[in-house]
Amino acid sequence: MRLETGSDGEIVRAVLAGDRDRFAILVERYRDRYARYAARMLGSADEAEDAVQDAFVRAYDQLGQCKEPDKFVGWFFLILRNRCFAERRRNRTSAPIEAAEAVAAADRTDGGAESADRRRALQLALLELTPDQREVFVLKHVEGLSYGEIAERLSTSVPSLKMRMHRAYDRLREQLREQR
């Protein structure tokens, strides 16, 4: 891997001009952040990895359609988001069980049983939200974005996001109580 810097826009333009290897810089730059987003959206680290990989390959294929190279990451996020929504639609019946098992397996080597149980319960409850509710929860409370930043990324308004999030809080409370 070449240690190289440059703005997203510069890299996108270089890749489009034929310097294919520089696409790896964008992958390195954003892979971890978006793998976590995908993992929380899909409830499975394996599915998340596949989704992020597909999204990067698709972004490469369609790079010419990235109208604002300096905003590559926002454009990439929307490709990944569509991929995650479609994946959840295909797998929604089996994913919660896989998710719980994946979380439980990861926790065996990381942290106490009580916190592992709470994480597992929340992950299951998150998967019972609508994708839109789950997404705003993940972006705010996992990724740490503000409502303003989420609104910009999803091209929506802060009040509508808050409404969605507040419904998510109520639904999570309901789900977590049912799990007890």
Partner 1 sequence: MSEREFHPLVKQLLDGDVTLADLPAELRAEGEEALLILGAVDRRPVQLGDFTARVMAQVVERPRRTFWRRVLEPREIRVSVRPWLLVPALAAAAALVLWLGRSGPAASSSPALVTVRFVLSAPDAHAVSVAGTFNQWNANATPLVRTGDGLWTATLTLPAGEHQYAFVVDGARWVPDPAAPAVDDGFGRRNSVLTL
Maximal C-alpha separation, the chain? 57
Q: How many CB atoms lie within 10 A of CB 43?
A: 26
Does residue 141 interact with partner 1 by CB under 8 A? Answer: yes
Does residue 43 interact with partner 1 by CB under 8 A? Answer: no
What backbone phi and psi angles, to 5 degrees, belong to 175? -65, -45
Q: Which lies closer to partner 1 via its Cβ, residue 13 or residue 156?
A: 156
| Residue found by looking up tokens 């926002």 in the block | 74
Residue span 51-70 as binding mask against partner 1, x where in contact by CB under 8 A, dash where not: -xx--xxx-xxx-xx-x---
Least distance CB 64 / partner 1 (angstroms)? 8
d(CA 65, CA 83): 17
Can you read off the two tokens belonging to residue 121? Answer: 């319960």
Using CB under 8 A, which of 89, 108, 109, 112 touches partner 1?
Answer: 89
d(CA 77, CA 170): 27
Can you read off the two tokens belonging to residue 8? Answer: 């997203």
The CA-CA-CA angle for residues 26, 33, 129, to 5°, reads 135
Residue type, 20: R
Least distance CB 141 / partner 1 (angstroms)? 5
Does residue 155 interact with partner 1 by CB under 8 A? Answer: yes
Q: Provide the binding-site residues for partner 1, judged by CB under 8 A.
A: 1, 18, 20-21, 23-24, 27-28, 31-32, 35-36, 38-40, 45, 48-49, 52-53, 56-58, 60-62, 64-65, 67, 78-79, 81-82, 85-86, 88-89, 92, 103, 106, 110, 115, 118-119, 121-123, 130-132, 135, 141-142, 147, 154-157, 160, 162, 164-166, 169-170, 172-174, 176-177
